């Protein structure tokens, strides 16, 4: 089969047009054994970064009513991302009611995703950005907020946007 200039140009045109549709946004890591990619700890809870826990170094979180683990970043577009994923462990107590929220313009969006970590068990959580009002928005953080009863120690690790 002989390639013609016209055939090569047509193939290149298709590749260029298909490029953006085929492009995948790599996961953006917020925390994995430490804060990554300019994310910062702006929490208003008792937080221990890189707490020793076997082979991982999660964030240990505990606090009183309405306290929160808050990971902050300069405003960043969520275009190309569809979910926030992380691992959570309820520690020795488990069952804490935690609301996962996005922060836009320095304010928590009151559209939470509620989780209840299990006792001494790691579980992956996938939070659709649309469920917390963050899809295609510019956010400046994410929060894991305790409720009126506060939060006994729980652990969060491998936090990323996908």
- The model's confidence at residue 152, banded by pLDDT at 50, 70 and 90, is very high
Shortest CA distance to 51 belongs to which of 160, 156, 162, 161?
A: 156
* pLDDT score of 135 more than 50: yes
Counts for the chain of helices (H) and strands (E), in that order: 1, 12
Token pair, residue 53, equals 């826990």
Under 8 Å between Cβ of 131 and 111: yes
Q: Which residues contact 24 (CB under 8 A, 6 or more apart)?
A: none
What is the share, in percent, of the chain residues with pLDDT greater than 90? 81
The overall average pLDDT reported for the chain is: 89
* pLDDT score of 96 more than 60: yes
- The model's confidence at residue 115, banded by pLDDT at 50, 70 and 90, is very high
- The model's confidence at residue 4, banded by pLDDT at 50, 70 and 90, is low
User: Can you give the residue ranges of every domain in the chain?
Assistant: 25-161
* pLDDT score of 112 more than 90: yes
Section 97-125 average pLDDT: 97
pLDDT (tens digit, 9 = 90+) per residue, 14-72?
444 444 444 556 999 999 999 999 999 999 999 999 998 888 999 999 999 999 999 99
**Domain 25-161, second-level architecture:** Sandwich (2.60)
Q: Residue 1: its pLDDT value, please?
A: 46
Q: Residue 6: its pLDDT value, please?
A: 52
């Amino acid at each position: 089969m002989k390639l013609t200039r016209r055939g090569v140009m047509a193939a290149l045109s298709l590749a260029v047009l298909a490029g953006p549709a085929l492009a995948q946004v790599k996961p953006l890591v917020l925390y994995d054994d430490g804060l990554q990619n300019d994310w910062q700890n702006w929490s208003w809870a008792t937080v221990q970064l890189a707490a020793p826990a076997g082979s991982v170094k999660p964030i240990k979180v505990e606090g009183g009513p309405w306290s929160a683990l808050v990971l902050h970043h300069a405003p960043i577009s969520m275009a190309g991302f569809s979910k926030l994923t992380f691992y959570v462990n309820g520690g020795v107590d488990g069952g804490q009611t935690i609301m996962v929220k996005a922060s836009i313009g320095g304010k928590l969006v009151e559209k939470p995703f509620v989780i209840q970590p299990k006792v001494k068990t790691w579980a992956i959580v996938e939070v659709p950005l649309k469920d917390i009002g963050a899809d295609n928005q510019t956010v400046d953080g994410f929060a894991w907020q305790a409720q009126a009863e506060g939060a006994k120690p729980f652990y969060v690790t491998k936090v990323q946007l996908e």
